[in-house]
Structure 1
Amino acid sequence: MGKMTVYHGGYKEIPSPKIIKGKHTKDFGTGFYCTLIKEQAVRWAKRFDTPVVNLYDVHMDTSLKILEFEEMTEEWLDFIIGCRNGKPHQYDIVIGAMADDQIYNFIADYIDGIITREQFWVLAKFKYPTHQICFSTKAALKCLEFRKAEELK
């Protein structure tokens, strides 16, 4: 995996990303989240009064433990359910589709027994593509090189 550009949507410039444990559990656990899809980072940023998209060059360190879900699979679903329930994992970087609010509602319905796993997959497959990279450790953060921040108008 060569050099790539990733985007982080938020409310300020972040030249030195840090891993901050939030009050809510996330798809791939605690970490610094980015995406390859600029439009998605713009959507993330627009939730704030001062929307800012940070751009980073990524130089992947292949010695790190990296888990990549190339598509939404049973393994992806089970991994997200575990992380959302606070189960830690051993990966430095996790890459895959994002369970946005609608997808997570389907996951919650599955966990609560309202829908079956098969019904989850029928509902989930019609969503637009999403992408996220979770940099879960300090070693993973070293792969990021800040390029610039763009305040959105």
Structure 2
Amino acid sequence: MKLYHGTNREFDKIDLLKSKPNKDFGRGFYLSADYEQALSMAQVKVEQLETGTPTVLVYEIGDDAWDNLHVLRFESYSEEWAKFILLNRNNPTHLPAHKYDVVIGPIANDRVGVQLWKYENCSIDLPILVRNLQYMKGVTIQYFFGTERAIKLLRRI
């Protein structure tokens, strides 16, 4: 399987310590199975950091590699997904909030972030949050690799 990582510069080694904490699935290396999505993320990163060039790095992971990983998959927005996102985004420690090697599921983009904010501020309850998310168009899936064990299975091509 090919996966793509959008960034603002080339690099050879994946360093989990350079990953930002409190992301959707925690501190880790994020990829997409969609090249255009990765390119869009690279462009956003260049805009945010005001440096670099949109760059898409291509990785491959063997189909048999998944058997050796502890994987959590969310097929779509759900109450479980929302709770998991909030768990990671609100993690007050430097330690991971979960024990998964890989997490696969929808991205909590800016539109989703607004809904999560409404939920956290008690403007909407969890069922309404999930209902609102399910009506959004353009659900995009992300692949989170959060352990060295998982990272070692990615091969740059």
- TM-score higher than 0.5 here? yes
Matched, 1:54 2:64: no
User: Residue deviations 1:113-138, cap 9 Å, x none?
Assistant: 01222332232122312111111000
**Greater helix share, structure number:** 2
List aligned pairs for 1:49-128, cutoff 5 A. 49-59=52-62, 60-86=65-91, 88-125=97-134, 126-128=136-138
TM-score w.r.t. the length of structure 2 is 0.84
**Greater strand share, structure number:** 1
Query: How far apart in 2 are the matches of 1:122 and 1:69?
Result: 16
Query: How far apart in 2 are the matches of 1:88 and 1:117?
Result: 20
Query: How far apart in 2 are the matches of 1:55 and 1:113?
Result: 41
User: Residue deviations 1:3-59, cap 9 Å, x none?
Assistant: x00010011123321213545510100110101121111111112041101110112
Query: How far apart in 2 are the matches of 1:131 and 1:117?
Result: 21
Matched, 1:18 2:15: yes
Cα 1:24–1:88 shift into 2, 3 Å: closer
Cα 1:138–1:23 shift into 2, 3 Å: closer
Query: How many equivalent residue pairs?
Result: 144
**Residue in structure 2 matched with residue 136 of structure 1 by the alignment:** 146
RMSD, matched Cα: 1.6
Looking at both structures, which has the greater relative contact order when contacts are Cα pairs under 8 Å and sequence separation is at least 6? 1
TM-score w.r.t. the length of structure 1 is 0.86
